[in-house]
Amino acid sequence: MSVTALLEGPGAEVLAAACAEYRPGNELQLVEKLRRRYDAPLVTTAVTQAALRHRAVAKFGPDAERMYFTPDGLEQATRTTVSTHRAARLAATLPGARVVDLGCGIGGDLISAARAGLHVTGVERDPETAATARANLSALGLSGEVLVGEAESTDLTPYDVVFADPARRADGRRVFDHNAYSPPWSFVTQLLQRTACVKVAPGIPHDAIPEGVEAEWISDSGEVKEAALWSGQLSPGTSRRATLLPGGASVTDAPEADSGPVGKYIYEPDGAVVRAGLVTAVAAAVDGWLLDPRIAYVTASTYVPTALASAYEVLEELPYKEKALRSWVRTQGIGTLEIKKRGVDLDPAQLRKKLAPKGSASATLVITRIGRDAVAYSCRRVTTSFPVA
Ligand SMILES: C[S@@+](CC[C@H](N)C(=O)[O-])C[C@H]1O[C@@H](n2cnc3c(N)ncnc32)[C@H](O)[C@@H]1O
């Protein structure tokens, strides 16, 4: 049964009842209870929707309580923090623009664009998903239209900006190769010849990004979420950018940086900075240098707070040998051990298990490679690049 059955009348009533009483794990009892008053298919649809709303809070915050979802649509939707940032950037360059979202899903991006004062039209090939997006605009009191259709056959002339967030799933599985996107990459690159913004996976190879297009890697609370490609009037002339949410710090330049021996601090650049290839911007920000020219760790002799990286104070260099590390953990009474690594082939969880942490002290072990040698540093975490809750 479609979500549209839940929009009014008994459907809306049973959905409100399901949402009020839904708790993870109580689906069966809830269905049984509501079936005494409502039709079985309606109850199943409402309880499924209540469960999706509950799950959607992580992406949509308080809006989730009023929104409608399909399982796939929720899975693929952009989280509000990221879509809000993108919509604000778009609206700052082209206030009030007419935006068409090709493959709008359940409307995650559409909602933020409408809220940013843009005139939105969504195009979605799946009718149920399109109906969900339409219901979401209406539930949140936003104007805009959603059409059922194919991205490739949409007439783009009425719009100032094209937005696309191609599906990166096939047969229920995530696809990592941009050549497997839908609508396809060949169509995406055509869009990027006009004024457009396209959301892509953060693993997009740099050499796949067309000339003159800015790629912006975005992280949220330290986790890289996606990249967005900006073209035409939306491309500011820079080629790469890293933006770190929720603070919004942004960096675009990669100055030259030296490499040299470890200083008093090690800085671990945020993943968006690393993906964007802008690690040397961290070196510039903290008056530091790279530990190794090919590895994304920066070191410096002083502590300089920066939103671009987490900082660790270096306490001691340790041999990268299991026996020596185990003895270090034991003699220091380390019970909480954070392991950071770059450029070395190891599984931090497995190593932690082997080192058997026990005790009340906590420490961070930074393991990396300098030239051909693996090295380990015992450290104390000073700051994270994002506020920890
Ligand atoms: C990643 S989702 C979009 C998510 C959306 N940005 C959000 O935040 O909710 C991609 C959507 O594009 C739709 N789609 C894929 N290929 C399409 C095409 N050729 N034409 C129209 N829609 C398409 C899929 O059905 C899917 O709902």
Residue 250: pLDDT over 80: yes
Q: Ligand 1 pocket, 104 CB below 6 A?
A: yes
**For the CA of 123, the nearest atom of ligand 1:** 21
- Phi-psi region at 373: left, alpha or beta (left = phi > 0; alpha = psi -120 to 50): beta
Residue whose Cα lies nearest atom 12 of ligand 1: it is 103
Indicate whether 108 and 230 sit together in one domain: yes
Q: Ligand 1 pocket, 124 CB below 6 A?
A: yes
Q: What would the pLDDT profile of 50-65 be if each residue is shown by its tens digit? A: 999 999 999 999 999 9
Indicate whether 104 and 16 sit together in one domain: no
**Is 105 a domain residue?**
yes
Indicate whether 281 and 346 sit together in one domain: yes
**Is 258 a domain residue?**
no
Residue 233: pLDDT over 70: yes
**Which band of pLDDT confidence, cut at 50, 70 and 90, is reported for residue 389?**
very low
Residue 72: pLDDT over 50: yes
Q: What would the pLDDT profile of 124-165 be if each residue is shown by its tens digit? A: 999 999 999 999 999 999 999 999 999 999 999 999 999 999
Indicate whether 90 and 161 sit together in one domain: yes
pTM for this prediction: 0.92
Indicate whether 277 and 237 sit together in one domain: no
Q: Ligand 1 pocket, 152 CB below 6 A?
A: yes
Indicate whether 107 and 221 sit together in one domain: yes
Indicate whether 230 and 341 sit together in one domain: no
**Is 253 a domain residue?**
no
pLDDT score of 169: 72
pLDDT score of 116: 98
Indicate whether 33 and 135 sit together in one domain: no
**Is 145 a domain residue?**
yes
Indicate whether 147 and 272 sit together in one domain: no
**Is 327 a domain residue?**
yes
pLDDT score of 285: 95
Which residue intervals of the chain are DSSP H helices?
9-21, 27-35, 40-60, 71-76, 80-93, 108-115, 127-139, 185-191, 271-275, 279-285, 322-332, 348-355
Mean per-residue pLDDT for 93-104? 98
**Is 191 a domain residue?**
yes
Residue whose Cα lies nearest atom 23 of ligand 1: it is 103
Structurally, how many domains does the chain consist of? 3
Indicate whether 7 and 138 sit together in one domain: no
pLDDT score of 386: 54
The whole domain housing 8 covers: 3-61
173-174 and 223-230 strand pairing: unpaired
**193 CA to centre of ligand 1 in angstroms:** 20
Indicate whether 213 and 108 sit together in one domain: yes
Q: What would the pLDDT profile of 255-304 be if each residue is shown by its tens digit? A: 899 999 999 999 999 999 999 999 999 999 999 999 999 999 999 999 99
Indicate whether 110 and 151 sit together in one domain: yes
Q: Ligand 1 pocket, 201 CB below 6 A?
A: no
